[in-house]
Amino acid sequence: MLYDRSYMRGPEGSQSKSLSMVTLLMIITIVVFILQQVITVFFPGAHGQNYFMVDWFALNIDNFSELKVWTIFSYSFLHSTQGIFHILGNMLGLFFIGRIIEPIIGQRDLLALYLTGSLVGGLVFLGVHVNDPTVVVGASASVLALVSFFCLIKPEERITLLLFFILPITIKPKWLFWGLLGYSIFGVLFYEMLGQGGLTIPVAHSAHLGGMLAGIGYYRFVYLRSGSFFQSNSSKPVVELPDWFKRKQKTQPDISYKVNRTHRDGLQQEVDRILDKINDSGFGSLDASEKATLDRARDILRK
């Protein structure tokens, strides 16, 4: 039956005894943060700071040039030890956005998207800081890859954010997407491109931009299986341009989809085929008629 499939059940039916990927990533990141604190407190180096974790796991052009290629991923599991807000902000983003995305794309794809955000964010950062030793740490690029993907699949679903962890604001994800993208581009052009030396920088805009590009790329090429970075195979754009920017259409075609199955057994067979397709390729691989069939079948097969 339709509701016998695990991915069509409610929250109680979809629970698993194993840890979710979001929980696992949070545990690893928090454990690494505690390890950073322990090393700094019990094994202080010059000026009271132990730079072992930075030297071997943070990302900058010097480490990468020394063939510490793992730092393109490991930097995203390190955070500033000067306070709690750096890791707190990233873990809140991972928790609230990740738990929405994981049931949609699965544990393996969520991990792939998270690590791809780290990879692309790190590469863009290295490209911008190729001539200076600036160091970057933090999961922001990976989290912004998840945020970008979420904004693209649910552009109209209103969400509430805590600005500065205090002020609640409600916003549509599509505006959050454009705001973050614009802020990251502005930061790269007018802050990082001016050349900021030193060991650390307040905000790694280039890494953030790379993470967002990873989320956009995953949405286009993996989730939608589109061959174009700017064009989608979906029936309508997800993050739409403002109405004043779009050309007016003279006619709006009225398209309706009907379930072309009058026999219950035939409908059940078609539903099974669609569910198998979801299991193999994900929900994004369905066309409009298959989605309409599922919607109709929910009511018919319950009777």
More confident: 156 or 99 = 99
Q: Tell me if residue 166 falls in helix, strand or coil.
A: coil
Q: Which residue is listed with tokens 């614009």?
A: 182
Residue 199 CA to residue 196 CA, distance in Å, equals: 9
Mean pLDDT (whole number) for 205-228: 87
User: 22 and 91 in contact (C-beta within 8 Å)?
Assistant: no
User: 96 and 198 in contact (C-beta within 8 Å)?
Assistant: no
**What are the pLDDT digits (tens) for 278-294?**
777 777 777 777 777 77
Confidence of residue 299 (pLDDT cuts 50, 70, 90): low
**What are the pLDDT digits (tens) for 241-271?**
445 444 554 554 554 444 444 456 677 777 7
Please provide the average confidence, as pLDDT, over all residues in the chain: 76
User: 279 and 7 in contact (C-beta within 8 Å)?
Assistant: yes
DSSP 162: E
Would the pLDDT of 113 be above 80?
Answer: yes
Question: What are 184's two structure tokens?
Answer: 């990251």
User: 260 and 252 in contact (C-beta within 8 Å)?
Assistant: no
C-alpha dihedral sign at 171, 176, 182, 183:
positive
User: 49 and 40 in contact (C-beta within 8 Å)?
Assistant: yes
The reported pLDDT for the residue numbered 286 is 74
Question: What are 278's two structure tokens?
Answer: 């979801």
User: 267 and 236 in contact (C-beta within 8 Å)?
Assistant: no
Residue 102 CA to residue 21 CA, distance in Å, equals: 8
Amino acid at 164: F
> pTM value?
0.67
In the chain, what are the domains?
Answer: 19-223 (1.20.1540.10), 252-303 (no CATH)
